[in-house]
Amino acid sequence: MARISAEARSRIMSAIRKRDTKPELAVRRFLHAEGLRYRLHAASLPGSPDLIFPSRRTAVFVHGCFWHRCPHCAAGKKEVRSNTGYWIPKLQRNQACDARVRAELEDAGWSVLTVWECETRDRRVLQRLLKKLRSRRPRRYPRVS
């Protein structure tokens, strides 16, 4: 691997987006086309979930396979070969944070669903997600007279 300057590395890493990633947009387009409406990146909730369905009390995270260590694909099992002293603990912290955020949301009464980057290309997985979301009945609010 070629060595690059700290400035160049910083530029590369700053280009990695937190929201509106291709996998997230694929999930959003699919669900919107199926008639579901959602809110994006609710900062008021732990972990700022990618999608939330407030009436269904459901949060959806779209995780990148490498960054969150997907158990389903090769990207999640990819071995870090350079600067392992930094990257291995960093990826472990990501996983620990994911578990903590999930627990906080569930303790607050939210259901949490995770879609992995590798799953966003599989229509069957997206159909299962849709089925899970539709099975959660929206809460009905009493009318105010």
* Calpha distance 130→115 (Å, rounded): 11
- Whether the per-residue pLDDT at 1 is higher than 60: the answer is no
Burial class (CB in 10 A: 0-12, 13-18, 19+), 135: exposed
pLDDT band at 142 (very low <50, low <70, confident <90, very high): low
pLDDT in the model for residue 94: 94
Full 3-state SS string of 25-43: HHHHHHHHHCCCCCEECCC
For the chain, percent of residues with pLDDT exceeding 70: 94
Band (pLDDT 50/70/90 cuts) for residue 127 is: very high
Confidence of residue 60 (pLDDT cuts 50, 70, 90): very high
Residue 95: predicted pLDDT: 95
pLDDT in tens, 66-103: 989 999 888 888 888 888 998 899 999 999 999 999 99
Q: What is the mean pLDDT of residues 30-58?
A: 94
CATH of domain 17-133: 3.40.960.10
Residues 59 and 133: their CA atoms lie apart, in Å, by 10
Task: Give the pLDDT band (50/70/90) at residue 6.
Answer: confident
State pTM to two decimals: 0.84
State the average pLDDT for the chain: 89
Mean pLDDT for 41-50 is 94
Domain ranges of the chain: 17-133
